[in-house]
Copies of this chain bind each other. A is one copy, B any other.
Amino acid sequence: MRIIKKETDYALRALYFIHEKGGKAAVSQIYSQIKAPRPFLRKIFRMLALSGILISKKGKNGGFEFKKPFNSITLADINEIFDEMTPLGGCPFKNRICSNFRSCALKGKIRAIEQETYQRLKRTYIKDMWD
């Protein structure tokens, strides 16, 4: 079972770091602190910006700052940027849908469990993850 991806892990650490630094930082200041590869973290940050978690400032002295308040960000907010949930009525094995899709009783049960876990992520605020 894989709850989160490495991208989510890096994103969480990076967001926490920015928060501690007063709410703004550039990738060059962060990546070594959280042991993330610079170009990978850059990609992650672009997605965080596209998703409305951060605002990016280009140019010298640029960087990223929070758009969504740090205290309001949940683990689900970050996770869903990097990992898709099975849609309602969908099969958890997107690419390997078998021919009994219609009558398949399992997919709904598995998805329900996935959704319960997702609800748990929704209740987890990242600000509390370092307590």
Write out the residue numbers on chain B whose beta carbons fall within 8 Å of the beta carbon of A93.
6, 9
Chain A interface extent, by class: 20 to 34
Query: How many copies make up the complex?
Result: 2
User: Bound complex: CA of A28 vs CA of B85, how far in Å?
Assistant: 35
Binds B, one of A19-27, A41-49, A58-66, A95-103: A95-103
Q: Is A92 a contact partner of B35 (Cβ separation < 8 A)?
A: no
| Nearest neighbor of A107 in chain B, beta-carbon distance | B9
Q: Is A50 an interface residue (CB 8 A)?
A: no
**Known contacts A9-B106, A13-B106, A109-B129; is-contact A117 B35 (Cβ 8 Å):** no
With contacts A35-B98, A129-B109 taken as known, whether A118 is within 8 angstroms of B1 at the C-beta atoms is yes
